[in-house]
Amino acid sequence: MFKFIAGLPGVLGVAGFFAYIWVGQSRIGGEILKQIVTKLRTAPNLDVAQYTNLTPAKIGKLIESDSRVREVVNEQDQKLLRLLIILQHVLTVIVLLACAGLVALSIWLISRPEPLSVSALAPQAIAPDAKGALVDLDPIVVQWTSTGKDEPVSVFLENVDTGRRTQKKTVSSNVRSVRFEPSEIFEAATSRGFHRVNRIRSVIEWSANTNVSESKDLLVGIEIDLLLNGRLVTPNGKQRPIHTLFATIDQSTEQLPQDYCFNVDFVARSNMGPPLIIPLHSCNSNGEVQIPALNQVNWNRPVGLVYGGPDDPRIVRTRVSGKP
């Protein structure tokens, strides 16, 4: 489509040039030229057929070369004819310049790089645990399509409701993908409550324009932390090991209900080989948990938690820290 539109001026220029050559020249002078041609046609000693498509320049040449024509055309007509010849030459130069300009414009439009055009796509989740949902605890990828010449673009995420934005990332337009880490996403995710949602969209800016994507819901994530073998110091100065299991938002229990309770399975490999699956239940009001058979865990193998509810597992991320 761009090439077709770019070629239109050239087509118009060529068509206008030939239209002027074939038709326009013969119409210069209008009625004056018509009267002169009529006199030539009515002259008894001239052949009428050869004067069907005469221009002022052609009649001027006939007057100079044929005495019979000079006898038919009086001096006043010859003066007018000379003016028409000058007008014809001036118009011819103007038409040629205009047509050449149109052709040159088409050549320039076709040969120059197509201007950059960008279409932003909605933010995409890349964490497998999210299963397609956008969660502020996971990286997010912004993608776009582009056509035309490559140039730098600025990419960021924007909160539709508050206008808050992440820091801009400047890359070449042909990269077509930028990744935002959770620490960067928090700048735009201003709503931090339990079960809250931030509507965000991708924004791409370049030298000539800005393009925004459709908005998508960014869910506030919940982190489950199992801290093994901590040290509890009692008021009387005694110490004992303690295992704690808490759910947090932004590393704090403040945004969660005080009576928030949840279930997880502690999963590990035992020293004997088969896996260990230990169900655990905890509440934020008292996060201490008892973990039986912990001494059977093979700490050289990965350990983890499997969230069991009550919330959507897609928004929950778990972590185990501490070892015996």
Q: What secondary structure, in 3-state letters, does 58-103 show?
A: HHHHHHHHCHHHHHHCCHHHHHHHHHHHHHHHHHHHHHHHHHHHHH
pLDDT attached to residue 301 = 87
User: Mean pLDDT score of the chain, rounded to an integer?
Assistant: 82
pLDDT attached to residue 322 = 84
How many Å apart are CA 21 and CA 29, to the nearest integer? 15
The amino acid at residue 80 is L
Q: What is the pTM of this model?
A: 0.66
Radius of gyration of the chain (CA): 42
- How far lies 84's CA from each of 36, 57, 217, 241, in Å? 12, 8, 74, 112
CATH of domain 117-219: 2.60.40.1930
How many Å apart are CA 56 and CA 32, to the nearest integer? 10
- In eight-state DSSP terms, residue 295 is G
31/276: higher pLDDT: 276
Average pLDDT of the residues in 35-39: 57
**Residue written as tokens 């000693």?**
45
Res 39 pLDDT > 60 = no
Structure confidence at residue 145 as a pLDDT band (50, 70, 90)? very high
Res 17 pLDDT > 50 = yes
255/82: higher pLDDT: 255
Name the residue among 294, 292, 295, 316 with its Cα closest to residue 306.
316
Average pLDDT of the residues in 142-155: 93
The residues with which 253 forms a beta bridge, in sequence order, are none
Domain limits, the chain: 2-111, 117-219, 222-321
How many Å apart are CA 221 and CA 134, to the nearest integer? 9
List the alpha helices (DSSP H) in 143-231: 182-185
Torsion of CA 113, 114, 115, 116, to 10 degrees: -100
- ∠ CA 121-127-132, rounded to 5°: 55
pLDDT attached to residue 29 = 47
Residues 6+ apart with CB under 8 A from 203: 120, 155, 156, 157, 158, 165, 210, 211, 212, 213
pLDDT attached to residue 79 = 63
Could you give the 3-state DSSP secondary structure of residue 123?
Answer: coil
pLDDT attached to residue 81 = 59
Lowest mean pLDDT among 86-95, 150-159, 288-297: 86-95
pLDDT tens for each residue of 191-217 = 999 999 999 999 999 998 999 999 999
pLDDT attached to residue 20 = 62
**Residue written as tokens 């994507």?**
213
- In eight-state DSSP terms, residue 24 is I
